[in-house]
Amino acid sequence: AAATGLAPDTPVIAGMTDGTAASIEVGLVRPGAAAEMTGQSTVLLICSDTPYRGNLLFPLGHPIAGLHLVVGAMVATGGALRWFRDQLGAHEVAEAARLGVDPFDLLGEQAAQSRPGANRVVFLPYMYGERSPIWDSAARGVFFGVSLATTKGDLVRA
């Protein structure tokens, strides 16, 4: 209570965000350790012994005193893949139903046929705007580098 200025009888409830909890779960307990989590969105967590003061990423408290988290977060990476399946993957959805498999497995097989670098196709998954590093809620997704030789596998891999 003395350290915080709170009255000694003030109830205090400890808690943390999912990313903070995950930092312990995946072993981010020393400076330089990093982890990536992807679901609907993607989060990159880097453990540091100094607080982050830049503006491209953002700081997050670490559960261990003296450590800090530097975070980069993209809004819709997994969501963009679901959008791709729903809008451009009708064939894979039908084929997956016929075979009794997940359509994402079929899309993944196509992506595996694309070379690393997706044959120079780049996808920016700004489907709901974007957080770090551009901080623009009006940003929208785009494919760059598409040519007549671009395959669905290239698009999925990108």
pLDDT digit string (tens) for 89-125? 999 999 999 999 999 999 999 999 999 999 999 999 9
**Is residue 64 domain-shared with residue 85, that is, in the same domain?**
no
Phi, psi for residue 127 in degrees, rounded to 5 = -80, -20
Asked, for residue 114, whether it belongs to a domain, the answer is yes
95 and 153 co-located in one domain:
yes
Global pTM reads 0.78
Q: Write the CB contacts of 61 (distance below 8 Å, at least 6 apart in sequence).
A: 16, 20, 68, 69
Q: Considering its fold, how many domains does the chain have in total?
A: 2
Q: How high is the pLDDT of residue 52?
A: 96
- 118 and 137 housed in the same domain: yes
- Residues ≥6 apart with Cβ < 8 Å to 92: 85, 103, 106, 107, 110
User: Is residue 78 helix, strand or coil?
Assistant: helix
Assign 135 a pLDDT band (cuts: 50, 70, 90): very high
Q: In terms of domains, do 65 and 101 share one?
A: no
Residue 4 within a domain: no
**Shared-domain flag, residues 84 and 152:** yes
Residues 85 and 125 in one domain: yes
Retrieve residue 39's tokens. Answer: 């679901």
Are 37 and 106 in the same domain? no
Q: Is residue 5 situated within a structural domain?
A: no
pLDDT tens readout for residues 58-75: 999 999 999 999 999 999
Q: Are residues 47 and 82 in the same domain?
A: no
Residue 1 has pLDDT above 80, yes or no: no
Model confidence at 13, in pLDDT bands (50, 70, 90)?
Answer: confident
Question: Quick one: pLDDT at residue 32?
Answer: 97
Q: Work out the angle between the directed axes of helices 77-88 and 103-113 (0-180°, nearest 10).
A: 100
Q: What pLDDT does residue 108 have?
A: 98
State the pLDDT at residue 16: 84
Q: What is the CATH number of the domain that holds 101?
A: 3.30.420.40
Same domain, 135 and 98: yes
